Amino acid sequence: MKHGKKYLDNRKQVDSEKFYPLTEAVEAIKDMSKSNFDATVEYAARLGINPTKADQQVRGTVMLPHGIGKEVKVLVFADGARVQEALDAGADYAGSEEYFQKIQDGWFDFDVAIATPDMMGEVGKLGRFLGPRGLMPNPKAGTVTNDIAKTVTESKTGKLEYRADKYGNIHMQIGKLSFDSEKLIDNTRALTRELLRARPASAKGRYFLSIHLSSTMSPSVKVDRSSIIDIIR
């Protein structure tokens, strides 16, 4: 992959062999980023799991204390009175058949999809459209629920779903460069603690193999795992 001059200049500012304490890693990301837009700060962790085994799946939700600095658009699959309940709670879209058709036609103007349990028979048919984009409602993620109001509110205010890919990697947004350093540090620690909590009992050996931070336009910075939480392993 060919990188631009700004990226290559930033690359020179980072010691690719060094594991930076979290505070230094955040400062390095902020110092490197001179873009004329509010870039996203991203977190990437490689976990010591075997995702091909059913008992080593890592998936769930996390509430980042400071959100991610962007508007989260929520779609709720519901019918009857539940539609208005969802809209009153702040959902951007709510309904059933009209959204089934729109999605099949290629519409994905939402970040989170929530469904009431009774809708899953029909929503399940959208798996090939929603699944690859990480948008399929799932009970384990709390997005298949009868508690529509609470779930919409949490999704709009920073509750995010995470899921390890087939290589055992977790990749998440944790904020914006305009966040002060302490907010980015808080969000990084909150996500790491949640991933540690979700560690499968059958995963042996080192769990966090690596953690990197980067921004939209910057190289990644290796983070010293022990600087995030002192019980990491």
Query: Does residue 85 sit in the same domain as residue 193?
Result: no
Query: Does residue 132 sit in the same domain as residue 17?
Result: no
Say how far apart CA 71 and CA 127 lie, in whole Å. 25
Question: Would you place residue 58 in the very low, low, confident or very high pLDDT band (cuts 50, 70, 90)?
Answer: very high
Those residues whose C-beta lies under 8 Å from the C-beta of residue 77, and which sit 6 or more positions away, are 94, 95, 96, 99, 113, 114, 115, 116, 119, 122, 123, 137
Tens digits of residue pLDDT in 135-185: 999 998 889 999 999 999 999 887 888 989 999 999 999 999 999 999 999
Question: Would you place residue 12 in the very low, low, confident or very high pLDDT band (cuts 50, 70, 90)?
Answer: low
Say how far apart CA 59 and CA 49 lie, in whole Å. 12
Please provide the average confidence, as pLDDT, over all residues in the chain: 89
Query: Does residue 109 sit in the same domain as residue 153?
Result: yes
Query: Does residue 21 sit in the same domain as residue 58?
Result: yes
For 210-222, b where at least 16 C-beta lie within 10 A, e where not — what string? Answer: bbbbbbebbbbbb
Say how far apart CA 84 and CA 78 lie, in whole Å. 9
> At 39, which CATH number?
3.30.190.20
Write down the pLDDT at residue 229.
Answer: 67
- CA-CA distances (angstroms) from residue 180 to 157, 186, 187, 225? 18, 10, 11, 21
- Secondary structure class of 1 (helix, strand, coil): coil
Query: Does residue 143 sit in the same domain as residue 195?
Result: no
- Secondary structure class of 158 (helix, strand, coil): coil
Number of separate domains in the chain: 2
Query: Does residue 165 sit in the same domain as residue 56?
Result: yes
Query: Does residue 53 sit in the same domain as residue 78?
Result: no
For the ranges 27-36, 70-79, 213-222, the lowest mean pLDDT is seen at 27-36
> At 85, which CATH number?
3.40.50.790
Asked if the structure places residue 232 within a domain, the reply is no
Tokens (6 digits) for 178: 């305009």
**By percentage, how much of the chain surpasses pLDDT 90?**
69
Question: Would you place residue 8 in the very low, low, confident or very high pLDDT band (cuts 50, 70, 90)?
Answer: very low
Query: Does residue 94 sit in the same domain as residue 121?
Result: yes
Query: Does residue 59 sit in the same domain as residue 84?
Result: no
Those residues whose C-beta lies under 8 Å from the C-beta of residue 9, and which sit 6 or more positions away, are none
Choosing from 123, 157, 191, the residue where a domain stops is: 157
Asked if the structure places residue 233 within a domain, the reply is no
Average pLDDT over residues 23-38: 84
Parent domain of 80: 74-157
**CA quadruple 91, 127, 175, 59: dihedral positive or negative?**
positive
Choosing from 104, 135, 157, the residue where a domain stops is: 157
Choosing from 157, 173, 195, the residue where a domain stops is: 157
Query: Does residue 170 sit in the same domain as residue 211?
Result: yes
Write down the pLDDT at residue 35.
Answer: 64
Those residues whose C-beta lies under 8 Å from the C-beta of residue 168, and which sit 6 or more positions away, are 46, 47, 48, 49, 50, 51, 58, 209
